Structure 1
């Protein structure tokens, strides 16, 4: 049993994704690496355009043209799936890896009933007969909290509210009991009550079926409620990784500090303003020579503009792509050496 727990469900190694446009090569994902175990939830957080969704599309093999994976490896359940053929991808999508897309209204086909759309996946990936597939759809609807499933499965997407459409998307993603679920901003544009319900639902499901989850969002509040660990992305790089406690209480990258400062706080003083991260995201056609965050960073040093920082290991599982902790460690060593002399 211990051996299974330590085995990684997913290993992403130095993944690179680019879009080859008329204006030049857009380096959307620039050499990212992470691991995910069964039953673990990893949050990927960052501004729009940081590469969160593109990195997840690479896992599914659905990067739109003119984008393509140009480097790195994706190891899923012990198998390299980086360069699978489209036929092999179709066998894997929905069965082994499920995905909840960002906008359920545009992801669901308006001309088919929601039951028909889930039935299509079950028909392709399972050996269930018609009655068994219907029973499975009803079971899934009950699992995700949709009342009157026998009636609702024969309705069309426009007959559902935003929160209910998102529940249908979750049911569709879970239909074949995937080992990995990718949730791409599943709570965006939903009111806070529905957000909380969907987060609770995902927490229950990952415990019930020991499913690995990648939860993509720009909302750190949601991340804190569901994830075991967090990867902070900026300009196509993962610039800090760590556990929930490490990212929220001991962040080491100035960009992570900025994200945390821009969140509303319950204990804030009256009329206290949120602190935005000043400046604009970098141009990914011509990314900076050094640290991508340097042009917006108040702590920027000369080396930040000239050389990309290495991943600095703060503690087990906590890394930051920043020169500041390296500088702090160097100054601490110099101080301690001075005292010993």
Structure 2
């Protein structure tokens, strides 16, 4: 695929979970594009819809969840319209995912080698010796020593960081065009976290794959992402380049996220500033801005009407009434 063409196009995606309590509107009309070799970060609090939106790319939204609107185009093909048979052909081959918890994602009853080999058997024509060679290459690539010995071991014999590296090796086994990394550095110490981020950057450049990087840690996305989408209550409230989000944020929710991140140059007794209040109820989301109940800059229009996506810079969008108000004041 040419670099100027989009690898992924998400258009007005809507995902709901139909529970006994009611319809949980987990993703409410998000749109974004991703080019080959680009890393896009999706950040936000737990429950904002980050992981659910990305599960749609793999066609693995769990029951009782369902895509109720929009499209997910991968290389021009609509993933939401594919049959299970068609999805099985691209899962693990063209699109791979590093799941959030490697201990629950790895099967404790099978060796590491058996689990990595599964996708190679399914998606490649390699014979047994070639598959063995490829598995050794993968473990070496992700920085695991004595790979021949490690392939015969079970997940409980690995540390948390090594299990995460195994998950990365499994995801990269067939050189995917798109990698979805769902909080791949959660619960890892900062040294291992830095090693995994460096590894992903190297692999992205080596095989030129697109990466959707899901996290709640803004410190992580600043290091690896080209662009960032900030999600809140199932919507994208701000999107732009990494520099724009960090140095020119325009949405109050983004301001709150940045203010809650520890900084090296602050006084040791200075407290972090949390975002007050609780996330909205997605069974009955508000008709106006979802962040309005927690926003210090809330206006009457914020409660009554959902804000439009406003362009606040080149390639920089924010769903907020404040830029609209500022633009009108400048015109006057």
Mark yes or no: TM-score above 0.5.
Answer: yes
Structure 2 counterparts to residues 191-270 of structure 1, below 5 A: 191-270=189-268
Residues 1:318 and 2:306 are matched in the alignment: no
- Residues 161-180 of structure 1 correspond to what in structure 2 (within 5 A)? 161-180=159-178
Question: 1:224 & 1:153 partners in 2: Cα distance?
Answer: 34
Displacement, 1:107?
A: 0.0
Query: Where does 1:1-341 land on structure 2 (aligned, <5 Å)?
Result: 4-334=2-332
Q: Residue 270 of structure 1: CA displacement?
A: 2.2
Q: Deviations over 1:33-61 (max 9, x none)?
A: 00000000000000000000000111111
Q: Give 1:315 deviation, angstroms.
A: 1.7
The 1-side partners of 2:213 and 2:105 are apart by: 18
**Aligned mates of 1:235, 1:324 — CA distance in 2:** 19
Shift in Å at residue 87 of structure 1?
Answer: 1.1
Report deviation, 1:316.
2.0
Displacement, 1:72?
0.3
Farther off after superposition, 71-80 or 217-226:
71-80
Secondary structure of the residue aligned to 2:80 is coil
Give the secondary-structure state (helix, strand or coil) at the position aligned to 2:70.
strand
Instruction: Measure how far apart 1:214 and its partner are.
Output: 0.3
Q: SS of the counterpart of 2:272?
A: coil
Distance 1:247 1:156 in 2: 42
Q: Which runs of 5+ in 2 are unaligned?
A: none
CA deviations 1:93-137 (Å, max 9, x no partner) are 000000000000000000000110010110000000000000000
Instruction: Supply the distance in 2 between the matched residues of 1:288 and 1:24 (Cα, whole angstroms).
Output: 15
Moved more, 74-83 or 202-211: 74-83
- Give a deviation string over 1:302-327, Cα, whole Å, max 9, x none: 00000000000112210000000110
Structure 1 residue runs of 5 or longer lacking an equivalent are 335-341
CA root-mean-square deviation? 0.7
Query: SS of the residue aligned with 1:188?
Result: coil
Corresponding residue SS for 1:19 = strand
Q: In structure 2, what is the equivalent of residue 339 of structure 1?
A: none
How far off its partner does 1:81 sit?
Answer: 1.4
3-state SS of paired residue (1:4): coil
How much has 1:149 moved relative to structure 2? 0.3
- Runs of 4+ residues deviating >3 angstroms: none
Q: Distance in 1 between matches of 2:283 and 2:168?
A: 35
Listed one character per residue, the Cα deviations across residues 199-220 of structure 1 (whole Å, up to 9, x for unaligned) are 0000000000000000000000
